[in-house]
Structure 1
Amino acid sequence: MERTTQWARALRGMGVGLAVLAISALPALAQEKVSVRLDFSPWGVHAAMHLAKEKGWFKEAGLDVDVQDGRGSGNTLQLVNAGQVDVGQIQLGLLPQARENGAQVKGIAGWGRRTDLAVLVDKDSPIKKVSDFAGKTLVVFAASPWAPYIDYWLKQGGLDRTKTTIMFVDPAALWGTYTAKRADGLMSTEPSALPIAAAARPSKAILAEDAGVAYPSYGLVATEKTIAAKREALAKLVAVQAKAWAYLRDGKIEEGVDAIVKQRPDAKLDRTALAEQIRLTIAFFDTPATQGKPIGWQADSDWNAALKGLEAAGAVKPGWKTSDYYTNDLIK
């Protein structure tokens, strides 16, 4: 009888223990899946995503995030619009033309709120402004974010394509063309390109913003349908990413490098270039209109300037509303 009572107590204890284990496992079971497609193969702007994975911050927020490398911002935008992934991290300046063509995608967080489009030239080149590119050759690829601005930008220096040669190449040939010095300049973005050029062709960046180009850079996008259906999960994703970027900005860039390298061990990445890419990405976070605002918050005045520029460049039609392109509703 005594032994029977002991067994009963033991079984009851096991039952309580199993219940406790089951309850403790509930958060893991309740994690919501979110797919995020990045813009390209690994580089510095991906640091916050990989850092959040390494630190377990997504899991802490109840998210199971699938972070995918991309094949260009334009391709990622198409996949997001088609519903094949939940969120894209791309250059937000692509949104106006995409929506002009029927896309239902909005920016839900803006990291690089300052224009980072630039033309790389030799570090010791006397070129300082648009007009200095007279008689020069610039290399770019057709789907580059530069594409809608090329003529507008040239015009700011009194140039056109009869005075400056624009060489369009396949993306795979872009770097080889520039490093082999078959072009005087490379049209890209400063954070992505300048650190990579340092080894093969030390360069400096001639910024498009100095010629009046306004272009929202990297941030997160989702369709209006996904924003409505996964609002809470997307708000958590944005919050975790804002936390990660704040951490990186607070002197933790090397941890961002470590995270990218660990998450993408087969990519054979240059740590020095990655660190500089992260540093430059952060340098383009703020405009005067976003100073003091939360990371990711987008200013209506910045979007207004960007859309006016796109309209002047003939890339969007008149009659636009800034609220069609972004929302701050998920920013805390």
Structure 2
Amino acid sequence: MKRLVTATLLVAAVFACKAAPAAAQAAAPAGPPDKVSVRLDFSPWGVQAAMHLARNRGWFREANLDVDIQDGRGSGNTIQLVNAGQADIGQVQVGLVGSARAQGAKIRAIATFQRRTDLCILVDRTATAARAADLRGRSLVVFAASPWAPFIDLYLKAGGLTRNDVKVDFVDPAALWGTYTARRADGLMSTVGSALPIAERSRPSKCLLAADEGIAFPSYGLVAREDVIASRGPVLRRLIAVQQRAWEHLRGNPDDGVRAMIAERPDARLDPEVLRGQIKLTIDYFDTPASQGRPIGWQAREDWEAALKSLEAAGVVRPGWTVTDYFTNQLVE
């Protein structure tokens, strides 16, 4: 009996030794690392924490990936560069895929981490305004390429208002925050995660949510061109898996993201408190009812249908759209 048990254990050990390398090879193929370029939306801020954490901890390298992480100049600009083949992947506000495809772009969202709509209007924390209807007679500031731009009239209409009732000023992105913090505008059109932590010190604010007026718009995730999805699927899948690992880690350890971002972008003069707040708020907006319990990055058809209906109502996409043209879950596990 003792010999039989020993022999059984030896056989099991042999199979385990053979299986382990096979599993490792499936996760990270042998050979030179696969080069991937990722263009971010803007200069460093909390929504990018998973990218920087993965690079800082060597998790991309473990997956046999050589990832070039590039700072961006806006989600719209990043989408243009990805569509032009100048970057493999863009980390952007994926709701912009609707307007991009309407203009002929051949891109899709391949993973959406921040699936809940986070478009908001910042107003003073003590302001009485709580809904769109309360903005009558107030002034708002926004920049022309903002994802808010096509939704302004739709949002105001939900409150029974038009631009005759609310002053909307378009400014250069560099002047956006200065205009708001100097109180030359009553509200700033932005996103919850990016804006609230920045406003905390200079002008403590609260958010009026676009979602409260029926506007749906998936927030931050990853996009790629259709031919890149088809030709580099296994590489993209590994990168998404690393991002899932990083975001899962950040759920309980946001300070690790703060430290990683400061280490990876030492010249950016990043504020740890702002980064921490941005990371936490980003994660707060991960789930919708339709995506609850699904893997990080997985996209619900219902959420995209709601987003496309909002984009159609705003005149961004034409009627007759096919929802699966805008996203795919084939790379999310």
Q: Does 1:316 align with 2:317?
A: yes
- Which has more radius of gyration? 1
* Residue-by-residue CA offset, 1:260-285 (whole Å, 9 max, x unaligned): 00000000011001000000000000
Q: What SS does the corresponding residue of 1:244 show, helix, strand or coil?
A: helix
Question: Please, which of 81, 84, 89 is the counterpart of residue 82 of structure 1?
Answer: 84
Counterpart CA distance in 2 for 1:206 and 1:101 is 30
Which amino acid in structure 1 is aligned with residue 302 of structure 2? S
1:200 to 198, 202, 206: 202
Equivalent position of 2:230 in the other structure: 228
Match of 2:182 among 164, 180, 183: 180
| Deviation of 1:114 (Å) | 0.3
Alignment of 1:104-143 (within 5 A): 104-143=106-145
Distance in 1, Cα, partners of 2:47 & 2:273: 14
Q: What secondary structure sits across from 1:220 in the alignment?
A: strand
Match of 2:268 in 1: 267
Q: What SS does structure 1 have at the residue aligned with 2:128?
A: coil
| CA distance, structure 2, for counterparts of residue 34 and residue 120 of structure 1 | 36
Q: Distance in 1 between matches of 2:266 and 2:181?
A: 26
Deviation readout 1:31-71 (Å, 9 max, x if unpaired): 00000000000000010000000111101111000001000
Give ranges in structure 1 of 5+ residues lacking alignment.
1-25
* Cα distance in structure 2, aligned partners of 1:119 and 1:206: 5
Shift of 1:212: 0.6
Q: State the Cα deviation string for residues 107-131 of structure 1 (Å, max 9, x = none).
A: 0000110000000000111110000
Counterpart CA distance in 1 for 2:271 and 2:190 is 19
Q: Which amino acid is 2:145 matched to?
A: A
Q: Does 1:245 align with 2:258?
A: no
The alpha-carbon deviation at position 313 of structure 1 amounts to 1.3
What is the distance in 2 between the residues matched to 1:135 and 1:300?
38
Unaligned stretches of 5+ in structure 2? 1-27
Distance in 2 of aligned mates of 1:100 and 1:205? 30
Q: Which amino acid aligns with 1:300?
A: R
Give every structure 1 segment of 4 or more consecutive aligned residues whose post-TM-superposition deviation is greater than 4 Å: 26-29
1:297 is aligned to 2:298 = yes
For normalisation by structure 2, the TM-score amounts to 0.91
**SS of the residue aligned with 1:301?**
helix
SS at match of 2:169: strand
Q: Counterpart in 1 of 2:56?
A: 54
1:192-229 residue CA offsets vs partner (Å, 9 max, x unmatched): 01100111111111111111110000000000011111
Partners of 1:108 and 1:49 in 2: CA distance = 15
One-letter identity of the residue aligned with 2:179 = T
Task: Return the offset for 1:28.
Answer: 7.7
Q: 1:115 to 1:319 in 2, by over 3 A?
A: same
Distance in 1 between the 2:314 and 2:39 partners? 29
Instruction: Give the alignment partner of residue 41 of structure 1, picking from 39, 43, 47.
Output: 43
CA distance in 2: counterparts of 1:29 and 1:177, whole angstroms: 52
- Displacement after TM superposition at 1:29 (Å): 4.8
Distance in 2 separating the partners of 1:123 and 1:241 = 34
CA–CA distance in structure 1, aligned partners of residues 66 and 272 of structure 2: 27
- In 2, Cα distance between equivalents of 1:79 and 1:259: 26
Task: Normalising by structure 1, report the TM-score.
Answer: 0.91
CA distance in 2, matches of 1:148, 1:315: 7
Query: SS of 2:223's equivalent?
Result: strand
Show CA shifts across 1:301-326 (max 9, x none).
00000101111111110010110000
Q: What amino acid maps onto 1:171 in structure 2?
A: P
Give SS of 2:160's match.
Answer: coil
Q: In structure 2, the residue corresponding to 1:241 is in which secondary structure?
A: helix
Identity of aligned residues (%): 62
**What SS does the aligned partner of 1:225 have?**
helix
